[in-house]
């Protein structure tokens, strides 16, 4: 119960904070832990943090440090083992409509056109209206795929498929976006371009974003805060504030200030990074 | 317009590809004819092509004996296939929905599979008689298993990421089943249906061989007993014809239903959906008018 306080700075004890949380935090976790059923793997241990509305948080860390586990907890896809977790002040116990998730694979339905894929989240909730359809078309325009809205996923490139998945995520209307290595399977160029677009889009819709990546520079470039995670047991080793003004241009990544932050994160991660 | 032109191109292309095969066949026929007429091959066992062609002419054109039998076998096959497929898909869906159901059904399905279905012929004839019933039954029985197994495999294969995506959207099990698992299983379902259709034909014909009053199997049996090899082979060709007919009908359906796996169909369906969308939800959504207005 008495977990070591991590750098979120606000938690006093797990119990107190669970009730309090930061007043305006969109996502608030206190001593959040997950041990998988076999009991041997502690996927996540004692995570405590507050995420402010509209902020962009990157999760970075080596494979197996619990990044996906943390996201899936917040998405309500798995149950926590202990600790407290609230989104918009309400405990998370099941998937909910104000939280949306996007995966490394686009997971589009091959038999649906791009726009039909984007409409899926709404279709699951209720029957479609004219407004929904207009909104979906608008979102596809936002991700630059308006001309491809009637194409099937297999007619699109990997990067385009992820854009459709992003439009689908936005169609959910969720204001907490969880992105688990969304562009991890794409080539460097596409990834960089999509990262910049992602920054623009989430700023435009004002969403709170958690973004998982293996890439330190990418994590820093995108985020207001970087959660640096370490494995065995998976924990948030440190929360690094990213001081740079927005909007940011890719050239930022070559500046000395930027590289200082990279060095700081690298330091926390230790030798193997 | 452009569709018609491209299809006439396709026809020309196809004809060009078929030409060498046709020439080879035409070249082989005289060799075969010669081999029989010189006595190199006994004409009682293998009839010369001329005799087969004469039999075809007689059976298919002059007195058309073949057609009633052809229709009967075709009906038996299709009816048996339809029953086998309906039962197989129903059981597969139930097995996919309920673990318990699957546990109780699987042993029977496996027993049915390892038992040579054809061996049931005498039993089936005893149960259903000499008429079409027994042929339909055997066709249904032996087409059941490949359809069941493929449909079940298709329904049980889960893409974990997609399932998780559905769950994160708050989808019910029912929605995930109907919107994800069923469509995702269709390619395998159709693979099973294609195999099932072929086996259904085998079932119908074998049952006819065993005991029947009509059908191409009976006809062929009759000709073989009379040592009329030409007519026998001409009849065999009608079975090939049934097989081809059914196979291409199935291929056509597969093409329409599982369009997303067919490169050519995909773009056709994509255009059709764009048109339908424009018609249903307003012209301003159609790509053509939009391109015009944005310029
Ligand atoms: N369903 C599960 N059952 C058992 N153990 C699991 C399960 N899911 C994850 N784990 C374990 O929990 C730990 C953290 O996994 P997680 O997927 O969160 O890592 P990750 O940081 O996302 O890694 P990667 O960068 O490779 O995606 C790993 O050791 C993993 O083996
Ligand atoms: Mg992961």
Q: What CATH number is attached to the domain comprising B93?
A: 1.10.3720.10
- pLDDT band of residue B101 (cuts 50, 70, 90) is very high
Please give the pLDDT value at position A87.
95
What is the rounded average pLDDT of the residues B178-190? 96
Among A5-19, A41-55, A214-228, B231-245, the range scoring the smallest mean pLDDT is A5-19
Whether the link from the prior residue into A247 is cis, omega within 30° of 0, is yes
Q: Judge if B200 and B141 occupy the same domain.
A: yes
Answer positive or negative: Cα dihedral of A13, A18, A19, A23: positive
Please give the pLDDT value at position B291.
41
- pLDDT band of residue B15 (cuts 50, 70, 90) is confident
Picking from A174, A160, A158, A164, the residue whose alpha carbon sits closest to that of residue A116 is A164
pLDDT at B218 over 90: yes
| B162 in reach of chain A (CB within 8 A) | yes
Q: Judge if B1 and B126 occupy the same domain.
A: no
- Which among B159, B169, B293, B295 is the top mutation candidate for probing chain A, defined by the most A β-carbons within 10 Å of its own β-carbon? B169
Q: Which ligand is nearest to the CA of A234?
A: 1
Is the CB of A66 inside a 6 Å radius of any atom of ligand 1?
yes
Question: For residue B6, is it within any domain?
Answer: yes
pLDDT at B285 over 60: no
Q: Which chain B residues touch A124 with a CB distance below 8 Å?
A: 166, 169-171, 175, 179
Q: Which chain B residues touch A125 with a CB distance below 8 Å?
A: 170
What is the rounded average pLDDT of the residues A256-262? 94
Q: Judge if B78 and B166 occupy the same domain.
A: yes
Distance from CA of B196 to the nearest CA of A (A): 25
Rounded to the nearest integer, the mean pLDDT of chain A is 88
Q: Judge if B232 and B131 occupy the same domain.
A: yes
Domains belonging to chain A, first-starting first, are: 51-77+98-269 (3.40.50.300)
Picking from B126, B137, B146, the residue whose alpha carbon sits closest to that of residue B80 is B137
What pTM, to 2 d.p., does this model score?
Answer: 0.85
A95 CA from centroid of ligand 2 (Å): 18
| Residue A155 phi, psi dihedral angles, 5° rounding | -95, 0
What is the rounded average pLDDT of the residues A56-70? 94
> Which atom of ligand 1 is nearest to A72's Cα?
18
Please answer yes or no on whether B259 and A115 come within 8 Å at the CB atom.
Answer: no
**B contact residues 241-260, partner A, Cβ 8 Å cutoff:** 259-260
Please give the pLDDT value at position A39.
73
Please give the pLDDT value at position B73.
96
Q: Which chain B residues touch A151 with a CB distance below 8 Å?
A: 270
pLDDT at B288 over 60: no
Regarding predicted confidence, which is higher, B7 or A5?
A: B7
Please give the pLDDT value at position A6.
44
> pLDDT per residue over B254-284, tens digit each?
999 999 998 889 999 999 999 999 998 865 5
Q: Judge if B134 and B175 occupy the same domain.
A: yes
Q: Which 3-state string (H, E, C) describes chain B?
A: CHHHHHHHHHHHHHHHHHHHHHHHHHHHHHHHHHHHHCCCCCCCCCCCHHHHHHHHHHHHHHCCCHHHHHHHHHHHHHHHHHHHHHHHHHHHHHHHHCHHHHHHHHHHHHHHHHCCHHHHHHHHHHHHCCCHHHHHHHHHHHHHHHHHHHHHHHHHCCCHHHHHHHHHCCCCHHHHHHHHHHHHHHHHHHHHHHHHHHHHHHHHHHHHHHCCCCCHHHHHHHHHHCCCHHHHHHHHHHHHHHHHHHHHHHHHHHHHHCHHHCHHHHHHHHHHHHHHHHHHHCHHHCHHHHHHHHC
pLDDT at A167 over 60: yes
Please give the pLDDT value at position A41.
82
Question: For residue B119, is it within any domain?
Answer: yes
ipTM of the complex as predicted: 0.87
In order of A67, A215, A268, B211, the CA distances from B134 in angstroms are 62, 67, 77, 9
| A111 in reach of chain B (CB within 8 A) | yes
What is the rounded average pLDDT of the residues A157-175? 94
- What residue has token string 């005289």? B30
Cβ(B243)–Cβ(A137) below 8 Å: no
Q: Judge if B164 and B133 occupy the same domain.
A: yes
Please give the pLDDT value at position B110.
85
pLDDT at A2 over 60: no
Question: For residue B282, is it within any domain?
Answer: no
Q: Judge if B106 and B135 occupy the same domain.
A: yes
How many structural domains comprise chain B? Answer: 2
- Please name the residue whose Cα sits nearest to atom 5 of ligand 1: A36
> Which atom of ligand 1 is nearest to A67's Cα?
21
| A125 in reach of chain B (CB within 8 A) | yes
- pLDDT band of residue B3 (cuts 50, 70, 90) is low
pLDDT at B293 over 80: no
- pLDDT band of residue B238 (cuts 50, 70, 90) is very high
- Which among B160, B161, B165 is the top mutation candidate for probing chain A, defined by the most A β-carbons within 10 Å of its own β-carbon? B165
- pLDDT band of residue B5 (cuts 50, 70, 90) is low
Please give the pLDDT value at position B117.
86
Q: Judge if B122 and B5 occupy the same domain.
A: no
pLDDT at B89 over 90: yes
> pLDDT per residue over A185-210, tens digit each?
888 888 998 999 999 999 999 999 99
What is the rounded average pLDDT of the residues B50-57? 91
Please give the pLDDT value at position A19.
52
Q: Judge if B93 and B180 occupy the same domain.
A: yes
Rounded CA-CA distance A31/A8 in Å is: 12
Regarding predicted confidence, which is higher, B120 or A1?
A: B120
Question: For residue B277, is it within any domain?
Answer: no
Question: For residue B293, is it within any domain?
Answer: no
Question: pLDDT over 70 for what percent of chain A?
Answer: 90
Please give the pLDDT value at position B14.
87
> Which atom of ligand 1 is nearest to A181's Cα?
27
What is the rounded average pLDDT of the residues B71-75? 96
| A106 in reach of chain B (CB within 8 A) | no
Q: Which ligand is nearest to the CA of A231?
A: 1
Is the CB of A234 inside a 6 Å radius of any atom of ligand 1?
yes
- pLDDT band of residue B290 (cuts 50, 70, 90) is very low
| A107 in reach of chain B (CB within 8 A) | yes
> pLDDT per residue over B136-174, tens digit each?
999 999 999 999 999 999 999 989 999 999 999 999 999
| A137 in reach of chain B (CB within 8 A) | yes
Nearest CB partner across the interface for B270, out of A124, A133, A155: A155
A44: helix, strand or coil: strand
Please give the pLDDT value at position B4.
59
| A105 in reach of chain B (CB within 8 A) | yes
Question: For residue B125, is it within any domain?
Answer: yes
Please answer yes or no on whether B183 and A111 come within 8 Å at the CB atom.
Answer: yes
Q: Judge if B112 and B161 occupy the same domain.
A: yes
Please give the pLDDT value at position B102.
92
Distance from CA of A252 to the nearest CA of B (A): 34
Stated as kind and residue range, the H or E segment containing A230 is: strand A225-230
Please give the pLDDT value at position A11.
41
Residue B285: partners with Cβ closer than 8 Å, 6 or more residues away = A137, B277, B278
Q: Judge if B113 and B10 occupy the same domain.
A: no
Q: Judge if B104 and B193 occupy the same domain.
A: yes
Question: For residue B89, is it within any domain?
Answer: yes
A77 CA from centroid of ligand 2 (Å): 14
What is the rounded average pLDDT of the residues A49-53? 94
Please give the pLDDT value at position A184.
87
Rounded to the nearest integer, the mean pLDDT of chain B is 89
Range of the domain at B86: 48-261
Residue A39: partners with Cβ closer than 8 Å, 6 or more residues away = none
Question: For residue B272, is it within any domain?
Answer: no
Rounded CA-CA distance A270/B10 in Å is: 63
Picking from B64, B76, B115, the residue whose alpha carbon sits closest to that of residue B206 is B76
């Amino acid at each position: 119960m008495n977990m070591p306080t991590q750098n979120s700075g606000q938690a006093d004890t797990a119990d107190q904070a669970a009730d309090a949380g930061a007043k305006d935090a969109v996502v608030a976790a206190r001593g959040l832990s997950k041990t998988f059923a076999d009991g041997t793997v502690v996927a996540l241990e004692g995570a405590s943090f507050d995420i402010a509305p509209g902020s962009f948080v990157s999760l970075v860390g080596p494979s197996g440090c619990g990044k996906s586990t943390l996201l899936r907890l917040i998405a309500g896809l798995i149950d926590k083992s202990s600790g407290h977790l609230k989104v918009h002040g309400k405990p998370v116990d099941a998937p909910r409509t104000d939280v949306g998730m996007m995966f490394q694979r686009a997971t589009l339905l091959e038999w649906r056109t791009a726009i039909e894929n984007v409409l899926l989240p709404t279709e699951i909730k209720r029957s479609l209206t004219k407004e929904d359809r207009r909104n979906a078309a608008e979102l596809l325009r936002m991700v630059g795929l308006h001309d491809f809205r009637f194409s099937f996923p297999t007619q699109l490139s990997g990067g385009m498929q992820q854009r459709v998945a992003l439009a689908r995520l936005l169609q959910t209307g969720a204001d907490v976006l969880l992105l688990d290595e969304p562009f991890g399977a794409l080539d460097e160029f596409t990834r960089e371009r999509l990262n910049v677009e992602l920054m623009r889009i989430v700023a435009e819709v004002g969403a709170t974003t958690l973004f998982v990546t293996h890439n330190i520079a990418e994590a820093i470039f995108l985020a207001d805060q970087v959660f640096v995670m370490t494995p065995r047991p998976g924990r948030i080793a440190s929360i690094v504030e990213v001081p740079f003004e927005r909007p940011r241009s890719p050239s930022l990544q070559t500046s000395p200030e930027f590289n200082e932050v990279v060095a700081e994160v690298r330091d926390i991660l230790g030798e193997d990074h | 317009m452009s569709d018609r032109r491209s299809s006439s191109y396709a026809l020309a292309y196809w004809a060009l590809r078929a030409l060498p095969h046709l020439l080879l066949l035409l070249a082989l026929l005289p060799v075969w004819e010669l081999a029989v007429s010189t006595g190199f091959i006994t004409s009682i066992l293998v009839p010369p092509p001329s005799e087969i062609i004469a039999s075809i002419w007689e059976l298919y054109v002059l007195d058309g004996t073949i057609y009633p039998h052809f229709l009967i076998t075709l009906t038996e096959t299709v009816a048996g296939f339809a029953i086998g497929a309906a039962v197989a898909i129903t059981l597969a869906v139930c097995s996919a929905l309920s673990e318990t159901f699957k546990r109780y059904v699987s042993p029977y399905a496996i027993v049915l599979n390892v038992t040579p279905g054809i061996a049931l012929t005498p039993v089936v004839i005893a149960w259903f008689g000499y008429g079409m019933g027994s042929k339909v039954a055997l066709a249904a029985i032996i087409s059941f298993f490949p359809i069941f197994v493929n449909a079940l495999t298709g329904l049980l294969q889960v893409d974990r990421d997609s399932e998780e995506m559905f769950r994160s959207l708050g989808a019910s099990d029912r929605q995930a089943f109907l919107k994800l698992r069923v469509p995702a299983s269709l390619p395998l379902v159709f693979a099973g249906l294609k195999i099932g259709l072929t086996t259904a034909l085998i079932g119908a014909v074998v049952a006819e061989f065993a005991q029947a009053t009509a059908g191409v199997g009976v006809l062929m049996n009759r000709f073989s007993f009379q040592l009329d090899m030409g007519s026998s082979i001409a009849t065999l060709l009608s079975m090939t014809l049934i097989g081809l007919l059914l196979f291409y009908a199935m291929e056509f359906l597969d093409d329409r239903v599982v369009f997303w796996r067919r490169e050519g169909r995909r773009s056709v369906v994509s255009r059709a959906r764009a048109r339908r969308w424009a018609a249903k939800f307003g012209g301003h959504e159609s790509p053509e008018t939009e391109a015009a207005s944005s310029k």
